[in-house]
Amino acid sequence: MLRLGLATALVVVLLDQVSKALVLAHFASRALGTNTLTPFFNLVLTLNRGMSFGLFNAVHGSGAGINAVLFSLVAAVIVVGLIYWLSRVATLLLAFAIGLIIGGAVGNVIDRIRYGAVVDFLDFHIGAYHWPAFNLADSAICVGVAVMLFDSLLLHREAH
């Protein structure tokens, strides 16, 4: 199960970093702003110095650097714990879910180390209401948690 989870994490990190590189290249060649793709989806470039959904994103200057280091360290500790858990997992579904979460966390830590912030670019909205921009790493984390909940709450197992 460890191999499956780590392979999943590697795929997530690669897809995440490639998608962010494409978005950064896209916005480097034109004026920054919003690219409206559908009535409910925009491609944007947002550098999130905070945590999930932009929490603590308003920090600027030296505080932004402290956020990058602090959030990276917290994520690293969580990833180590998840890898330990992954080494003890007995089901494919749970190994896959943990791999998604590890890959998403590592993808965002890479951004914090490279840019001092996480590159977010997916902007879904209904009218004027916009969900906070996010990226593929964030999506992998959310899907991983959902799969983990599905595995623990809905799949019945015999007690050992």
Chain mean pLDDT for the chain: 87
Cα of 24 vs its chain's centroid, Å: 17
Which residues does the annotation mark as catalytic? 120, 138
Q: How confident is the model at residue 52 (pLDDT cuts 50, 70, 90)?
A: low
Mean pLDDT of 34-63: 72
For residue 156, what pLDDT is reported? 60
Instruction: Assign 90 to helix, strand or coil.
Output: coil
Contact indicator for 4, 87 with CB cutoff of 8 Å: no
| Listed residue (68, 25, 59) closest to 43, CA to CA | 25
108, two tokens: 């965002």
Q: Is the pLDDT of residue 153 over 90?
A: no
Higher-pLDDT residue of 33 and 61 is: 33
Q: Is the pLDDT of residue 53 over 50?
A: no
- pLDDT tens per residue, range 79-138: 999 999 999 999 999 999 999 999 999 999 999 999 989 999 999 999 999 999 999 999
Q: Is the pLDDT of residue 144 over 90?
A: yes
> How far, in Å, CA of 80 to CA of 29, rounded?
38
pTM given for the model: 0.86
